[in-house]
Amino acid sequence: MQTSNPYLFNGDFVDRGSFSIETILLLFAYKCLYPEHFHLNRGNHESVNMNKMYGFEGEVTSKYSKEMMTLFTDIFQWLPLAHVVGGKVLVLHGGLFSKDETTVDDLRQISRHQEPPDEGPMTEMLWSDPGPAPGRHPSKRGVGVAFGQDVTERFLQANGLELLVRSHECKDEGYEVEHGGKAITVFSAPNYCDQMGNKGAFIRFEQDCKPQFTTFAHVPHPNVRPMQFAGFGGGFNFSQFL
């Protein structure tokens, strides 16, 4: 890693896979080594309820202890919720908001050392998704909103931005460009949960902040099944709550 090439990882570092401990400790180690050049956004899976349901709490208590899980919970609550890249690109995990009046300045005022509330901007930026229909609609997830291209364009224009980058949804090619090129989903876990068959991807931004995409396929991992530490069995729709 070079300090001239900073990194930003966009949430959901844990859960569903069975090597979440190894993943998150590696990310934290890089953050300690390069505190000004290695950045982490919080995702909806950096939360107590999701960790209980989708495996991370079980993995931590199995490999370490309940006290270690308490420490992770506290650290997750200090993670940033978004970054602005080059003054042009907003990067957050989920999506946009139920009210046009919400601004980037409002996001800076959020007291992030908490669990996501039932509603409001903090929860929406962790859970919302872009959709094909204009306006705002109830989310298929039951939390956050589905927002159209018109919502994206108004938000970007009002905040002097050019592009929204988010994650939160598995994509066949590892990324998808939507909303007239104004919203990009990037998903970096190939063959999600060992069954989706998707590619992973990452974005590189040069000085002009124009996105350049790299896709990659999965590689073998140790013979441990996904969801090894989750508290329920098979038959689950993995795409439901990404």
- Active-site residue (options: 37, 39, 45, 137): 45
168 counts as catalytic: no
Rounded Cα gap, residues 153 and 187, in angstroms = 22
Q: How many residues are present in the chain? A: 242
Q: What angle do CA 83, 89, 94 make, to 5 degrees?
A: 60
Residues ≥6 apart with Cβ < 8 Å to 171: 185, 186, 187, 198, 201
Active site residues: 45
